[in-house]
Chain A
Amino acid sequence: MRAVKEFTKGFWRENASLVLLLGMCPTLAVTTSAFNGLGMGLATTAVLLGSNVIISLIAGIIPKKVRIPSYIVVIATLVTLVDMFMAAYAPDLHSALGLFIPLIVVNCIILGRAEAFASRNSVFYSFLDALGIGLGFAITLFVVGAIREILGNGTLTVFQYKETLINFVIYHKETIKPITVFILAPGAFLTLGFLLALKNYIDNLIKN
C-alpha cells in the first residue's frame, strides 16, 4: 500500500528532525516546553499541508528556473495566514513562539518536501506525505519539549489555551532542584543529541 507508506514514513523512517535533520532551528529554539513544541509542530504541519497540496497542483505550470522563488511565495502566503490565525485565536502561543512562526517560511522541511516530493507526485500522495512528515515533526518537537521541560522546570504542559491549562507537576522545585540548563540553549542540543543516539540505537536493535 503506497498510501500507508507515504503517510507513516514521516513518523520514524524519515522523521524530519531525527533522520533528515531538517528544521533544526525550531527543534532547538522553541522546545522550552512540551506545549510550545507541539504548537510549533502543528503550525508547521498546517503550512506543510497547504504548501504540498498547492505546489503539487501547480508544479506543471511553474518554469523550472524560478521554481524555488515560486515555492517561497506559496509558503510565505500560507505562513502569513497561520501567523494571523494564531495571533487571533491562540495569542499566548503566538507570543511564546514569537519570531519563529514567520521563520517557518525558511523551514527546510517545507521547502525540502516541496522540492523533493510535492513537485513530482500527485496531490493525494503529497497530502499524505505532508500529514505524515508534519505530524512526525510535531511529535518529535513535543517529545524534545517534554524532556526539556521535565528536566529543566519539573513540569509538563500538555495544553494551554486562554484559561485552560493542563499542566502536570512532575516534581516540586523545592524538593528536587531542576537542571535549569535544559531549558536554555545547551539543553536543547544535549536533548536532541541523546534522542538521535537513542533512535539510532533502536534502529540497530531492530536491524539485528
Chain B
Amino acid sequence: METRSFKVSYSPHVHNGASVHKIMWNVFLALVPATAVSVYAFGINAVRVLFVSTFFAIFFEALALLMRKRDWKQCFDGSAALSGLLLGLTLPPGISTPIIMIGSFVAIIVAKQVFGGIGSNPFNPALTGRVFLLIAFTEPMTTWPLPRGIEQAKNYLGLATTKTADAITAATPLAAIKEHASKAMPNVSLNDLFFGLHTPGSIGEISVLALLIGAAWLLYKKIITWHIPVSTILTVFVIATITHFLSPAKYPHPFFHMFAGGLIIGAFFMATDYVTAPIWPMGKLIFGIGVGLLTIVIRLWGGYPEGISFAILIMNATTPLIDKWTVPGPFGSKTLRRQS
C-alpha cells in the first residue's frame, strides 16, 4: 500500500497580503487630512512638533533595537513612526522640542521596547507618552495656542485690543467647560468644533471632519472594524444626552462632547490599535463601552478636562482579560449545546 502524506502548514492558509508595512502606511494615509488641517491651522509649529516626535520615535526605536541586538532596520517598519506621529498629534502645538523628545522616549522605550517591541506592548505607546508628559509637564501640556493667527484669535475670544502678541493662548472648549460650566463658552459653535479651524486643542484633534475622512478610509480598507469607535462614541453620546437633559445648565450638549477634545481621534485611531485592543467583536464592544464610559466620567466629574487618553490606557490594561472572556465558541458549538 502506498501512503501519501500531504504537508500542511499551520493556519492561516489564506493570506490577504496584509503586512505591518501595508497597514501602517494605510493609517498614515488616513491621518493625512487631520495632519494637513493642523498644519494649515497652526502653521510651522505643527510641522515642528510632528517632525520631532516622529523622527525621535524612529531614532529611539533604532537605538532600542540595537541595544537588544535585533535588526535595527526594523525601525522603519512604520510602527514606530506611527506611534511618533500619533504622539505628536496629541500634543499642544506650542510645546517645546525637548519635551517632545522625552515624550518620544517614553512612548518608544518605556511603553514599547521594554515590553519586547512591536506586538508585545500592553499599553498604547503614543498615549503612554502623552499621559507621561501630561503628568510630568502639566503647565506646558495645557497651554493651547489658538489656531489661525492673531486676528481670528481675537474674534474667538471677543477681544478688542490692538496689542501685538506672538501668539494667543486660550483654554480648550473642554477645559473652559470644566472651569466655568457650560454657559461660559458662547463662542464655540458645533460648526467650529466640527471643522476645527478656530478652536484651540491638540494638533490632531481639532478637526472632526478631517479625522472622519481618515476614519472612513480605514473602515473602507478594513484596517479597523466599526465595533470599538462606534461603541465608544455612542456610550459617550448616550451618557452626555442623559446628563444634558437632566441638567442642561450644568452639562453641555451631547454633540459638544462628541466633537470636542480627542474623542474622535482616540476612538478611531488609538483605541483600535491592534496590539492593545481586544480581538473578538464582542470584546471590542465591551472595550469600546468601557473607554466611552471612563471618558465621559472623567470629563464630567473627574479632575482633568479630557479623559480619553486615560480611558484608553485603563481599558488597555483590561484587554487580556476581555480577550479571555469573549473567545467565541467553535463553529456549531452553540447548536450542539442546545440539543443536548
Q: Which residues of A contact B (CB under 8 A)?
A: 177, 179-182, 184, 186, 190, 193
Contacts and interface: CB of A to CB of B under 8 A. Distances in A.
Contacts of A180: 135-138
Contacts of B114: 193
A177 B99 contact: yes
20 contacts: A177-B99, A177-B137, A177-B139, A177-B140, A179-B102, A179-B136, A179-B137, A180-B135, A180-B136, A180-B137, A180-B138, A181-B132, A181-B135, A181-B136, A182-B136, A184-B135, A186-B132, A186-B135, A190-B110, A193-B114
Interface of B: 99, 102, 110, 114, 132, 135-140
Most buried by B among A177, A184, A186: A177
Contacts of B132: 181, 186
Contacts of A177: 99, 137, 139-140
Contacts of A181: 132, 135-136
User: Max chain A CB contacts within 10 Å: which of B99, B114, B136, B140?
Assistant: B136
Nearest to B109: A194
Nearest to A177: B137
- Where chain B touches its partner, the secondary structure class is helix
A179 B102 CA distance: 10
A190 B110 CA distance: 8
B227 to A, nearest CB: 31
Contacts of B135: 180-181, 184, 186
Given A177-B99, A186-B135, 13 more contacts: A177-B137, A177-B139, A177-B140, A179-B102, A179-B136, A179-B137, A180-B135, A180-B138, A181-B136, A184-B135, A186-B132, A190-B110, A193-B114
A193 B135 CA distance: 19
A132 to B, nearest CB: 31
Nearest to B102: A179
Contacts of B139: 177
Nearest to A193: B114
Nearest to B114: A193
Contacts of B136: 179-182
A-B pairs, 10 with minimum CB distance: A181-B136, A179-B136, A181-B135, A180-B136, A177-B137, A181-B132, A190-B110, A177-B140, A184-B135, A179-B102
A10 B328 CA distance: 52
B121 to A, nearest CB: 15
Contacts of A193: 114
Nearest to B106: A190
A186 B131 CA distance: 11
Nearest to B99: A177
Contacts of A179: 102, 136-137
A186 B135 CA distance: 10
A180 B135 CA distance: 7
Nearest to B139: A177
A177 B110 CA distance: 21
A208 to B, nearest CB: 13
B3 to A, nearest CB: 51
Contacts of B102: 179
B137 to A, nearest CB: 6
Nearest to A176: B98
A149 to B, nearest CB: 15
Contacts of B140: 177
A83 to B, nearest CB: 33
Contacts of A190: 110
B123 to A, nearest CB: 12
A32 to B, nearest CB: 15
A186 B136 CA distance: 10
Contacts of A182: 136
